[in-house]
């Protein structure tokens, strides 16, 4: 008996030569080995991420990861040569820089001031969702001396480069500062706002609030907005101050 298979997402219609019709949902069809491999790899990364956040990098073994993922240890070696390569995939997939720079690019406003304030609010909202952030940062810095961060920045460079075009379309003047420096200072300042807010939570009832955020934005803008008198923005050389 011959049949004709028509691929009509998300189902297959199988029409036999006796005109009988069968409908098979794609999700009910056997997965290919490539799909299974991709799913196993993704589960290993997700399981490792959860364990690294909970226990730390050094305290998590490959056996721990295999048990969490429900796969043999040998399956891990099929996808990763060692534990550090798993961590590298975790940091590339989970680091919030992936969300930060798109937030900058999608910020709303007609002026640079409005865009920066919109981006800052969106960034802080995103960071507050990511209570794992400190764990990720400390593991990368303490365990690896931040050696995987260059790979992360390489992935997001196109988004950083697009920021100048966004700013150029807004009212307001910028000092002649390279866009990577502007983006880095923005991310650094508001990471600091978030982290110090957590650290000060026990001594300040509301360390992360709109008023404080607005003041942080003022600090950032004071450093990047052009001034009518450029000499006021230039710090004197030590010899000049003497």
For the chain, how many residues are written? 242
Number of domains the chain is built from: 3
CATH at residue 168:
1.10.357
Residue 30 has pLDDT above 60, yes or no: yes
Task: Report the pLDDT value the prediction gives residue 20, as an integer from 0 to 100.
Answer: 46
Q: What is the C-alpha to C-alpha distance for residues 11 and 28, in angstroms, rounded to an integer?
A: 9
Q: What is the C-alpha to C-alpha distance for residues 34 and 186, in angstroms, rounded to an integer?
A: 41
Residues 6+ apart with CB under 8 A from 126: 96, 99, 100, 103
- The verdict on 63 and 109 lying in the same domain is no
Task: Report the pLDDT value the prediction gives residue 171, as an integer from 0 to 100.
Answer: 62
Domain span at residue 71?
Answer: 33-91
- The verdict on 113 and 84 lying in the same domain is no
- The verdict on 142 and 195 lying in the same domain is yes
Q: What is the C-alpha to C-alpha distance for residues 6 and 23, in angstroms, rounded to an integer?
A: 10
CB-CB neighbours of 10 under 10 Å: 8
- The verdict on 169 and 184 lying in the same domain is yes
Question: Which has the higher per-residue pLDDT, 220 or 96?
Answer: 220
Average pLDDT in the 124-150 region? 84
Only one residue has tokens 């290919």, namely 32
Question: Which has the higher per-residue pLDDT, 124 or 46?
Answer: 46
Q: What is the C-alpha to C-alpha distance for residues 30 and 50, in angstroms, rounded to an integer?
A: 29
- The verdict on 6 and 19 lying in the same domain is yes
**pLDDT > 90 in the chain, percent:** 24
Identify whether the C-beta of residue 4 lies closer than 8 Å to the C-beta of residue 14. Answer: yes
Identify whether the C-beta of residue 122 lies closer than 8 Å to the C-beta of residue 107. Answer: yes
8-22, 23-37, 188-202: least confident range: 8-22
- The verdict on 114 and 203 lying in the same domain is yes
Picking from 45, 60, 91, the residue at the C-terminal end of a domain is 91
- The verdict on 84 and 131 lying in the same domain is no
């Amino acid at each position: 008996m011959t049949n004709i298979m028509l691929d009509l997402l998300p189902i297959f219609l199988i029409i036999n030569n006796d005109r009988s019709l069968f409908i098979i949902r794609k999700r009910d069809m056997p997965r290919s080995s490539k799909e299974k491999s991709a799913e196993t790899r993704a589960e290993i990364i997700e399981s490792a991420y959860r364990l690294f956040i909970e226990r730390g990098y050094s305290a998590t073994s490959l056996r721990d990861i295999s048990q969490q993922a429900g796969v043999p240890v040998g399956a891990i070696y099929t996808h990763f040569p060692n534990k550090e390569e798993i961590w590298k995939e975790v940091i590339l997939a989970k680091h919030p820089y992936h969300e930060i720079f798109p937030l900058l690019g999608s910020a709303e406003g007609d002026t640079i001031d409005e865009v920066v304030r919109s981006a800052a609010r969106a960034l802080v909202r995103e960071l507050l969702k990511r209570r794992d952030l400190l764990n990720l940062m400390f593991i990368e810095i303490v365990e690896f001396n931040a050696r995987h961060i260059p790979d992360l920045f390489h992935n997001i460079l196109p988004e950083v480069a697009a920021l100048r075009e966004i700013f150029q379309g807004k009212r307001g003047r910028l000092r002649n500062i390279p866009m990577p420096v502007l983006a880095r200072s923005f991310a650094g300042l508001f990471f600091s706002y978030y982290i110090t807010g957590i650290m000060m939570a026990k001594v300040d009832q509301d360390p992360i609030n709109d008023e404080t955020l607005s003041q942080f934005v003022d600090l950032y803008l004071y450093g990047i907005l052009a001034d009518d008198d450029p000499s006021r923005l230039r710090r004197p050389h030590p010899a000049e101050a003497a």
